[in-house]
């Protein structure tokens, strides 16, 4: 039996942007723009934690899904300032972004903590969007694949193939995030293909075929179609351009 084709997944990572009222205004605008696409492409929004609940209400009965931008690995307890996976589940999230380079860079996330968070996410019935990517210095030193493969292996440590198949991976070269400098389609495809063959080696061909690998890093309406046209690019994780309804809708359409 032929495997189902991987459905593209376009996610908007709003980072620390939009108050609740601004978030609702953006969602109202976006909802109408992408409704015609129905389920041709999976669309995910990751607003700041405080906006999750109101945004969940605003996207009821739409083709938009919700994600947290991070979560703690414990289900509850004395961890001031943290948010737990079951809380994200109850508020209506389907996904949680994990190991974003800003979390790794500014908040000390490691492959080990990302892995623990991923366990909590799956246990809560959510799906992880696990981010990996090299810095400019690492790319220039010719270490891109080594760094990315270490992050993939570390993030997925201890999971079996059936669990791994539910992951979304996001390849985000750090030098392309928020810089306006996008990886070329060849650079993106090379790393995506390397990750997929790593998944074949670590698990099996069937698992590797199911895992969706997003590209992230200065994805814009004018480069989205070309990036999303690559064989192993199964979606996009969009930062800056997800803050404008028209831009994000154009990227989503490029994936449909
Ligand atoms: P950017 O961010 O689209 O603003 O480069 C992408 C990301 O950090 O996920």
The reported pLDDT for the residue numbered 3 is 60
Ligand 1 atom index nearest CA of 240: 4
Q: How far apart are CA 234 and CA 221, in angstroms?
A: 16
Q: Contact 172/101 with Cβ under 8 angstroms?
A: yes
Task: Quote the ligand 1 centre to 143 CA distance (angstroms).
Answer: 22
**Rg, C-alpha atoms of the chain:** 17
pLDDT band at 234 (very low <50, low <70, confident <90, very high): very high
* Shortest-distance Cα residue to atom 1 of ligand 1: 239
Taking residues 77-100, what's their average pLDDT? 98
The reported pLDDT for the residue numbered 125 is 98
Taking residues 46-56, what's their average pLDDT? 98
| 72 flagged as catalytic | no
Ligand 1 atom index nearest CA of 170: 9
Please state, in angstroms and as integers, the Cα–Cα distance from residue 71 to each residue in 9, 24, 68, 84, following that order: 21, 22, 7, 5
Instruction: List the catalytic residue out of 42, 100, 138, 149.
Output: 100
Q: What is the dihedral of CA 237, 249, 190, 234, to 10 degrees?
A: 80
Task: Quote the ligand 1 centre to 99 CA distance (angstroms).
Answer: 13
The reported pLDDT for the residue numbered 39 is 82
| 74 flagged as catalytic | no
pLDDT band at 166 (very low <50, low <70, confident <90, very high): very high
Give the binding-site residues of ligand 1, using a 6 Å CB cut-off. Answer: 13, 172, 177-178, 216-219, 237-241
Ligand 1 atom index nearest CA of 101: 8
Is the pLDDT at 51 greater than 70? The verdict is yes
Is the pLDDT at 180 greater than 90? The verdict is no
Token pair, residue 176, equals 């392309």
Q: How far apart are CA 174 and CA 158, in angstroms?
A: 26
Taking residues 131-156, what's their average pLDDT? 97
* Shortest-distance Cα residue to atom 6 of ligand 1: 239
Taking residues 23-45, what's their average pLDDT? 94
Task: Quote the ligand 1 centre to 56 CA distance (angstroms).
Answer: 22
Which of 239, 243, 244, 247 most suits a substitution to test ligand 1, by most atoms within 8 Å of the C-beta?
239
Token pair, residue 81, equals 């300032």
Task: Quote the ligand 1 centre to 3 CA distance (angstroms).
Answer: 31
pLDDT band at 230 (very low <50, low <70, confident <90, very high): very high
pLDDT band at 172 (very low <50, low <70, confident <90, very high): very high
Mean pLDDT, the chain, whole residue set: 96
């Amino acid at each position: 039996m032929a495997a189902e084709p991987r459905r593209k997944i376009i996610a908007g990572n709003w980072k620390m942007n939009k108050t609740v009222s601004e978030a609702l205004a953006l969602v109202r605008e976006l909802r109408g723009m992408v409704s015609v696409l129905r389920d041709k492409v999976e669309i995910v929004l990751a607003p700041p934690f405080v906006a999750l609940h109101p945004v969940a209400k605003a996207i009821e009965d739409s083709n938009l899904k919700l994600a947290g931008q991070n979560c703690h690995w414990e289900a509850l307890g004395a961890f001031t300032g943290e948010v737990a996976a079951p809380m994200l589940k109850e508020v209506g999230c389907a996904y949680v972004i994990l190991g974003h380079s800003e979390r790794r860079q500014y908040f000390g996330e490691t492959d080990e903590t990302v892995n623990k968070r991923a366990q909590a996410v799956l246990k809560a019935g959510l799906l992880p969007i696990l981010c990996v990517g090299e810095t400019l210095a690492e790319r220039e030193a010719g270490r891109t694949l080594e760094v990315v493969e270490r992050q993939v292996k570390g993030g997925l440590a201890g999971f079996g193939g059936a669990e791994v198949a539910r992951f979304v991976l996001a390849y985000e070269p750090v030098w392309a995030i928020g810089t306006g400098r996008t990886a070329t389609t060849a650079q993106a495809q090379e790393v995506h293909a390397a990750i997929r063959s790593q998944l074949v080696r670590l698990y099996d061909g069937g698992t590797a075929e199911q895992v969706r690998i997003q590209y992230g890093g200065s994805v814009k309406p004018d480069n989205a179609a070309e990036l999303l046209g690559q064989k192993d690019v199964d979606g996009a994780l969009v930062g800056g351009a997800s803050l404008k309804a028209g831009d994000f809708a154009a990227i989503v359409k490029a994936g449909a």
